[in-house]
Amino acid sequence: MDQLYMLRAFVAAAQHRSFSKAAASLGVTTGSISKAIAKLEASIQTRVLHRTTRSVTLTEEAQSYYVSCCRLLEELDEANRRITREREVDSGKLRLAVHPTLIGDTFSQFLSGYRAIAPNVNLVVSIHEGVVNLYNGQFDMAILPPHQVEQSAVIRRTLFKSPRMLAASPDYLARFGMPGCAADLTGHFLLLPSQSRQHNSNYVQMIEDGEPVQVIPASSMDGNDVLLGAAALAGAGIAELPEAMAREDLAKGKLIPVLPGCALSDSEVEICLFYAHRELLPARFRTFVDFCTEFFRRDNVSRRTRLVDTRAQAAYAAAMTTGPSPERATSTNACMALDT
């Protein structure tokens, strides 16, 4: 029998001076109260109550024990009430791991919106590229690609999926020209995701209008998406980036889409919200989950609209291209050889 229940039965019987009234206060049977007190006395080897047909009273030996039990149960009940209240209040700390590709104006709007509805939450955001375990106490939640979260028993909610695209700065394209097909990329400096080159080879496998194409770039740089995005903005070359990451710079004209029908793969970048438990979430966690899913749902609708505009912009830019600049003349032979 649960020792805590035995203590509650003892205190109730002493307070009510009746087993039947104690049973009624705890919502149990009189026999259950009698059995609990008998087990308590056996466990501490001391009689705690005098029983008569008319009343129940404390023994002399149990006087101080009763006071201690009352204090212990009152403290426990208060602790239970306190933790219940805290669970229902939007306050406390929320430790969030976020993938670096999310950082930008949209994520700033996300943080501002959440802070507006949960001002008492201590939100701690960590930019994280490694694998996250939500059970080791370091993070409460994560907004990351699926492969970066140890997913045993965690809850996963997809926030968005983003295709990858090629983009470059206006300055780079003004100097080196807009490529008209995948073969033209041979003469450009390509900014590529890590592991994009085929093993033990110099070529890059690409998809152009649904068909596989091999491109051998004269020069290239490998790195993560954040590094490649920064290099593209600096005019270093043509980068393959997640559309969701590049869209703000596309909208501002800092990047221009290149070959909208061409990419290194036809796969999408998936970003998900992860958290460890579905049941008994504190209020601050429930509020964050609801706000996060609704924010990105609305953002996805807006992003699809902007993606159509971006592709129209790319088609227009390609149509306006009159030909390669003098600086790209040396790549003509390589492009022709690849075309044949």
Cα–Cα distance between 94 and 69 in angstroms, integer?
A: 36
* Predicted pLDDT at 208: 86
pLDDT tens-place string over residues 44-73: 999 999 988 788 999 999 999 999 999 999
Cα dihedral 7/12/18/22 (nearest 10): -100
pLDDT at 224: 86
Integer Cα distance of 271 and 235 in angstroms: 27
Quick one: tokens of 193? 């995701």
d(CA 114, CA 295) in angstroms, rounded, equals 9
Query: Domain spans of the chain?
Result: 3-87, 164-267
How far is it, in rounded angstroms, from Cα 21 to Cα 12?
Answer: 8
Task: Give the pLDDT of residue 81.
Answer: 76
Q: Tell me which of 3.40.50.10860, 3.90.230.10, 3.40.50.1000, 3.40.190.290 is the CATH number of domain 164-267.
A: 3.40.190.290
Whose CA is closest to 320, among 180, 217, 202? Answer: 180
CA distance 192 to 225: 8
Give the pLDDT confidence score for residue 325 in this predicted structure.
Answer: 43
pLDDT computed for residue 176 by the predictor = 93
Q: Determine the pLDDT at residue 327.
A: 43
Coil, helix or strand at residue 93: strand
Kind and range of the H or E element at 155? strand 155-168
| CATH code that applies to domain 3-87 | 1.10.10.10
If we measure between CA atoms, which residue out of 324, 278, 248, 36 comes closest to residue 154? 278
pLDDT at residue 27, as a whole number: 92
Q: Which residues of the chain fall below pLDDT 70? A: 1, 84-90, 196-201, 266, 278-280, 301-340
Per-residue pLDDT tens digits for 123-178: 999 998 889 988 888 899 999 999 889 877 789 999 988 888 999 999 999 999 99
What is the pLDDT, as a whole number, of residue 328? 40
Hunting for tokens 């205190």 — which residue is that? 11
Give dist(CA 40, CA 340) in Å, integer: 93
**The whole model's pTM is what?**
0.62
What is the pairing mode between strands 155-168 and 141-144? Answer: unpaired
Instruction: Extract the tokens encoding 184.
Output: 């033209």
